[in-house]
Amino acid sequence: MAKKTKSKRKEYTKDDVKLLKAHSKSRTPVAKLSKLMKRSEGSLRQKARSLGIGLGHQR
């Protein structure tokens, strides 16, 4: 039986939050931002929600 690897959480730094806010203002699509920041779309959406900012181009 194969061993399952446990994923390790990657904390958001101040620079990550600054970048997320900047892309929120420029309305960058979440898929593009996900590849740029190397995080899942769900993770980015949750963080944006907790910061109280909108995310994506359609909001």
Give DSSP secondary structure letters for the chain: -PPPPPPPP-PPPHHHHHHHHHHHHTT--HHHHHHHHTS-HHHHHHHHHHHT---SS--
Q: Give the pLDDT of residue 35.
A: 96
Taking residues 15-33, report their average pLDDT. Answer: 94
Name the pLDDT band for 19 (thresholds 50, 70, 90).
very high
With a threshold of 0.85, does the pTM exceed it? no
pLDDT above 70 (res 17):
yes
